[in-house]
Structure 1
Amino acid sequence: MTALRPERESDTSYGQQSYGVPDAFEDWSGGGAYGASPQPGAQAQSSYESQLLGSEAEPYAASFEPVPEEPYVPPVDEETVALRIPDPPPAAGESVPGSGAAAGSRTDGGTQGGRAARRKAAKRRHGRHGGAPETRSVEESRAPLSRVEARRQARARKPGAAVVASRAIGEVFITTGVLMLLFVTYQLWWTNVRAHAQAGKEASSLQDDWANGKRNPGAFEPGQGFAILHIPKLDVVVPIAEGTSNKGVLDRGMVGHYAEGALKTAMPGDKTGNFGLAGHRNTHGEPFRYINRLTPGDPIVVETQDEYYVYKMASILPVTSPSNTSVLNPIPAGSGFTEPGRYITLTTCTPEFTSKYRMIVWGKMVEERPRSKGKPDALVS
Structure 2
Amino acid sequence: MPGAFEDWPAGGEYGASPQPEAQPQPGSYAPRPESYAPQSESYAPQPGSYVSQPEPYSASYEPLPDGSLPDESLPGESYLPPVDEETVALRIPDPPPSGSDAVSGSPASSATRRDDPSQGGRAARRKAAKRRHGRHGGAPDTGPAPEGAREERRAPLSRVEARRQARARKPSPAVVASRAIGEVFITTGVLMLLFVTYQLWWTNVRAHAQAGSEASSLQNDWASGKRNPGAFEPGQGFAILHIPKLDVVVPIAEGTSNKGVLDRGMVGHYAEGALKTAMPGDKSGNFGLAGHRNTHGEPFRYINKLSPGDPIVVETQDEYYVYKMSSILPVTSPSNTSVLNPVPTGSGFTEPGRYITLTTCTPEFTSKYRMIVWGKMVEERPRSKGKPDALVS
**Per the alignment, do residues 352 and 134 of structure 1 end up closer, same or farther by CA in structure 2, a change over 3 Å counting?**
closer
Q: Is the 8 A contact 2:354 2:377 kept in 1?
A: yes
Q: How does 1:139-218 map to 2 (within 5 A)?
A: 139-218=151-230
CA distance in 1 between counterparts of 2:194 and 2:227 reads 44
User: In the alignment, which of 308, 320, 324 is matched to residue 320 of structure 2?
Assistant: 308
Question: Which runs of 5 or more residues in structure 2 are unaligned?
Answer: 1-114, 118-122
Deviation string 1:226-257 (CA, Å, 9 cap, x unpaired) is 00000000010000000011111011100000
CA distance in 2 between counterparts of 1:206 and 1:149 reads 82
1:344 aligns with 2:356: yes
Higher mean Cα deviation, 153-162 or 287-296? Answer: 153-162
Deviation string 1:69-119 (CA, Å, 9 cap, x unpaired) is xxxxxxxxxxxxxxxxxxxxxxxxxx899x99xx9xx959x9xxxxxxx9x
Q: How does 1:1-381 map to 2 (within 5 A)?
A: 107=131, 136-381=148-393
Q: CA deviation at 1:152?
A: 1.5
CA distance in 1 between counterparts of 2:263 and 2:152 reads 68
Question: Which runs of 5 or more residues in structure 1 are unaligned?
Answer: 1-94, 111-117, 126-132
Q: CA deviation at 1:140?
A: 1.8
Secondary structure of 1:137's match? helix
Deviation string 1:99-147 (CA, Å, 9 cap, x unpaired) is 99xx9xx959x9xxxxxxx9xx99xx9xxxxxxx999532222111122
Higher mean Cα deviation, 309-318 or 209-218? Answer: 209-218
CA distance in 2 between counterparts of 1:357 and 1:210 reads 37
Matched to 2:336, the amino acid is N
CA distance in 2 between counterparts of 1:167 and 1:244 reads 47
TM-score (norm 2): 0.64
Secondary structure of 2:239's match? strand
Percent identity over the alignment is: 89
Q: How many pairs are equivalent? A: 271
CA distance in 2 between counterparts of 1:249 and 1:154 reads 63
Q: Is the 8 A contact 2:229 2:317 kept in 1?
A: no
Q: Is the 8 A contact 2:211 2:266 kept in 1?
A: yes
Matched to 2:330, the amino acid is P
Secondary structure of 1:339's match? coil
RMSD value, Cα: 3.1
Deviation string 1:235-284 (CA, Å, 9 cap, x unpaired) is 10000000011111011100000111111111000111110000000111
**Runs in 1 of length 4+ with deviation above 4 angstroms?**
133-136
Q: Is the 8 A contact 1:96 1:107 kept in 2?
A: no
**Per the alignment, do residues 135 and 163 of structure 1 end up closer, same or farther by CA in structure 2, a change over 3 Å counting?**
closer
Q: CA deviation at 1:217?
A: 4.3
- Determine which structure has the larger helix proportion and give its number: 1
CA distance in 2 between counterparts of 1:96 and 1:175 reads 75
